[in-house]
Structure 1
Amino acid sequence: MSPSATISEATFTITPMKKSSNDKHDYGAIVSDIDLNNINDIDVRHLADAIWTHKVIVVKGQKGLAPIKQWDLEDCFLNIAKHEVVGIPGAENVRLIGKGFQGEDHYGIKNKNITKPLSHDWHEKELPQDEFEKGNTRFQRWHMDAPLYGRDPAWFTTLRCIKRPTEPQVNIRWDDGSGLSMKVEPGLTAFISNVQMYEMMTEDEKKMADHSWVEYAPHPYMWIGDCKGNSNGLGLVSQGKEKELENLGDFDPKDIKTYPMVWVNPVTGEKAFQVHGICARRLFIRSSPTEEPRIVEDLVEIRKLLKIIQERVLKPEYILIPSLEEGDIVMWANYQMFHTAIDYPDWFGPRTMHQANIASSAGPVGPVPIPV
């Protein structure tokens, strides 16, 4: 049952996002008539339900939101369940992310110029700089916001648009031999639904995924620190560049994360194929609760298996890239979605965003228990 099923109705308005005739994504909503500076406990619960239900929401009209209030909202989300980034002074858990000059004084951050590159240092096949300067770009890295070591992933992430360029459009290229591309406004975030990904699986694949689990590497982002990604932003190129575990420094085996392949939405009951393939070190494959799992440690095999399943949803018609006006906040369910940044040339202008999430006090639950 929804946590808000027995409390008063929400005071805000939820409207499904408009779709074109070509769009096949089945998620996304607009939330209006709400002031996040003065949100009450009941509406916090309804807002959490809205994220679980619609997976990605854009909360309109939050231009005057105080940074600390964005963090307070994340903290409230956590209580229901009971990093180049720079912290905002007075609200250090709200992180400044973006591109270019952030102003002489941005909430106490003085003369900050963000120059950290995105796509060009991550993909194995680089995008030529002259093509990038003409507005051609790629999805940077499809991921969920999750440490995958020591702490459980955040339920939700919130990203507030302070400033971004709105033109000209960028041309996102897959550059993977598919010939796929799509044009969008610059400075936005793209989403794919791992619920739709699960629904595209065959019955045999679903049976396997429902009963299987993933072991992630210790300090996973250090482990893949020398690796390169595929041109479409999904997954790694297998080059044997993963660090040896003994070169990762100290780690506690009890902090290594093992999660089900499939995560169940606590509000809707939907299933998501939620496997962060770039950090997966072992798969435990079985198709029933009593079957002895097959342990897959070959990273080439792991990535091949995941690629077959995950690339099905990586098509323009299944990708949502919601437009944001200054002050809008996009919120999404980390337990159901992958998202990615999309870079653009510097000459388009600066981008300023405030991002916040908080580790959950309750980790993901699969459709059947896993023996860990």
Structure 2
Amino acid sequence: MSPSAITPEPTFTVTPMKKTAEEKHDFGATVTGLDLNEISDADVKALSNLIWTHKLLVVKGQQELEPIKQWELVTRFDPTAPKVHSHGSVKTFNKEGGLLSKARDVYGIPGAENVRLVGKGYQGPDHYGLKEITVKKPLSHDWHCKPQAEGEFEAGNTRFQRWHIDAPLYARDPAYFTTLRCIKRPTEPQVNIRWDDGSGLEMKSEPGLTAFFSNVQTYELMSEEEKKIADHSWVEYAPHPYMWMGNCRGLTTGLGVATEGREKKLEELGDYDPKSVKTYPMVWVNPVTGEKAFMVHGICARKLFLRSSPDETPVVVEDVGEIRAFLKTIQERVLKPEYIMLPKVEEGDIIMWANWQTFHTAVDYPDSWGPRTMHQANIGASTSPVGPVPIPVAV
């Protein structure tokens, strides 16, 4: 569906991203001629529809963007949502973030605390009010179940860290969009991203970029029988899911976790509200284009409810090993170099993506190559994802 059918023509220019003959990813566009410090309501609406349509936008030339304006834009995308980052305050994130906050420095930008400084290394004498900050973070893939051989990483061989959506999966709904502004990153030398799973797959990238694939394409790669099941099925996530799986270890591809019995028992999670436990459809429908995306965040899934028609009693799968094996066969089909995009983001650009349609991951590089400075912001959505078939209220 064309965004111009919904809103007036935007005042800025949108150019679909080019791809090579070998590339099969089918999303992404570049935006020029826009100042996000001074953006009209009509252009906010147009930009929102373009993100839903293209799945990912790189908005060029935002070197002068004020952090508070980035947060204001996020709230304008979803004006009725609670005015807090999707993972809550920095204090809440550090307390309940589990895997996400483990051994990782998290900073809110003073005066715009819902904009998070993400990256690594020395951030200068004064970074928007943060004085003499050096962001410390562990090696991005040191939680994988199989470590790299000694010397591989420093030689520029790396991995996808953790394919995911930006979603608390407890209490708040996942953000429609995430925004990530590039302040500083090294541009050379290239890293060599390896799957390290025996497939021999690898691909090159500039350092400091974020990788993406489209879960619309994941859905399109499924068989008709698989689509039928996915359309009618749903997932229950664990309470405080990143605490629940915080001791788990990832697969070397970054997609999924190894089943080693490391999940915490529910009684180890402390107090939680059963009403805050999230249950979502397996397939999420794009509210603008109507496209279907297979959106299961497998690392946090505790139960699957599988059926192939509205009248069928679902089969309940509670064994996490079975859950992960079921998802792996589906999700790994898109995990190939030709479907993965690493959009080039230059200093001053801001990337925005449809969090309900894509997976993304960081790709680490040796610290000696220089600091990385990004401003990330999103907001827990005002609505829950909708599937092709309604989930029963009581199961």
- With over 3 angstroms needed to count, the CA separation of the structure-2 counterparts of 1:370 and 1:3, relative to structure 1, is farther
Q: Please state if 1:356 is matched with 2:377.
A: yes
Q: Please state if 1:111 is matched with 2:132.
A: yes
TM-score (norm 2): 0.92
Equivalence map 1:36-51=2 (5 Å): 36-51=36-51
Cα shift at 1:80: 7.2
Which among 319, 325, 330 is matched to residue 298 of structure 1? 319
Q: Which residue of 2 aligns with 1:52?
A: 52
Q: Equivalents in 1 of 2:64, 2:320: separation in Å?
A: 47
Cα shift at 1:130: 1.0
Q: Give the letter for the 1:33 counterpart.
A: G
CA contact (8 A) 2:285 2:388 kept: yes
Equivalence map 1:170-209=2 (5 Å): 170-209=191-230
Aligned length: 372
CA deviation map 1:96-144 (0-9, x unaligned): 0101100010000011111211434310111234110010000000000
CA deviation map 1:36-91 (0-9, x unaligned): 00000000000001110000110001011001000000000112779532100011
Q: Please state if 1:339 is matched with 2:336.
A: no
CA contact (8 A) 2:158 2:191 kept: yes
Q: Equivalents in 2 of 1:263, 1:243: separation in Å?
A: 28
CA contact (8 A) 2:209 2:342 kept: yes
Identity %: 71
Equivalence map 1:116-265=2 (5 Å): 116-265=137-286
Q: Which residue of 2 aligns with 1:64?
A: 64
SS at match of 1:119: coil
Cα shift at 1:18: 1.1
Q: Please state if 1:21 is matched with 2:21.
A: yes
CA deviation map 1:140-195 (0-9, x unaligned): 00000000000100000000000000000000000011100001100000001000
Q: Equivalents in 2 of 1:322, 1:272: separation in Å?
A: 20
Q: Give the letter for the 2:46 counterpart.
A: H
SS at match of 2:78: helix
Which among 332, 340, 343 is matched to residue 311 of structure 1? 332
Q: Which residue of 2 aligns with 1:281?
A: 302
TM-score (norm 1): 0.98
CA contact (8 A) 1:3 1:45 kept: no
CA contact (8 A) 2:281 2:391 kept: yes
Cα shift at 1:239: 0.2
SS at match of 2:15: strand
SS at match of 1:130: coil
CA contact (8 A) 2:231 2:308 kept: yes
CA contact (8 A) 1:94 1:354 kept: yes
- With over 3 angstroms needed to count, the CA separation of the structure-2 counterparts of 1:204 and 1:81, relative to structure 1, is farther
CA deviation map 1:299-334 (0-9, x unaligned): 111000000000000000000100111100010001
Dislocated runs of 4+, deviation >4 Å: 1-4, 80-83
CA contact (8 A) 1:45 1:80 kept: no
Moved more, 129-138 or 353-362: 129-138
Q: Which residue of 1 aligns with 2:30?
A: 30
SS at match of 2:386: coil
SS at match of 2:228: helix
Cα shift at 1:95: 0.4
Q: Give the letter for the 1:103 counterpart.
A: G
Moved more, 152-161 or 74-83: 74-83
Moved more, 43-52 or 71-80: 71-80
Q: Equivalents in 1 of 2:187, 2:254: separation in Å?
A: 23
Alignment gaps of 5+ in structure 1:
none
